[in-house]
Amino acid sequence: MIDSARKELFDNWALQYDEAVSNSTGQYPFDGYDNVLSALVRLAEPRPELMVLDFRTGTGNLAGRFAIQGCTVWGLDFSKTMLEKTSIKFPKINLVHADLLGEWPQTLPTTFDLVVSAYVLHEFDTTNKVRLISRVAEKYLKPGGRILIADIAFPNESARVAAARRWRDNWDDTEHYWVAEEVLEVIENT
């Protein structure tokens, strides 16, 4: 569950989030942010008949790309302020206020063709990452559906440590940046 301090942090960040990610050239962790979202959308191959869930939609930067393509989009986030920003930018997106690790409202459809997420799962430890992805796959994904995730990740611990040194001024030790070796080990043992 997300604590009240984290909620307040994201509610406050919502006010300048779009500016922060658009002015991040050369800055960790959002250098190339727009390119990452574009690559995810290309891989998704959006078309109007798709039902899309963007979990932890933030200000709608990823969800909006699918809405523009005519997809039916649902955005889920724990920050009311982030969702308010999304509703202004993309009024056709269906928004749901919920904690990713908590119960999701029954108003949320239970079958999606595509589940997407960008710059979110580094908030959670490996166990919760795998638990959340498994939950989404089991409860919310149509047969043949896909989950596409864009996030900050490293192939191994030494690469993560090197990045922490390189970006020490912007590095956040409270984040749980993906380490592929760790995640694969947990998945294999699940």
To the nearest 10°, report the CA torsion of 40, 45, 49, 53. Answer: -20
The answer to whether position 67 is within a domain reads yes
pLDDT at 59 over 70: yes
Q: What is the CATH number of the domain that holds 76?
A: 3.40.50.150
Strand partners, 147: 115
Going by C-alpha positions, the residue among 27, 141, 115, 20 that lies closest to residue 63 is 115
Range of the domain at 54: 4-153
The answer to whether position 185 is within a domain reads no
The answer to whether position 129 is within a domain reads yes
The answer to whether position 88 is within a domain reads yes
Strand partners, 114: 52, 146
Can you give the pTM of this predicted structure? 0.89
Q: What is the mean pLDDT of the chain?
A: 89
Confidence of residue 89 (pLDDT cuts 50, 70, 90): very high
Longest Cα separation, the chain: 45
Q: How many domains does the chain have?
A: 1
The answer to whether position 178 is within a domain reads no
The answer to whether position 181 is within a domain reads no
The answer to whether position 158 is within a domain reads no
pLDDT at 1 over 70: no
The answer to whether position 161 is within a domain reads no
Query: 176 is written with which tokens?
Result: 């749980």
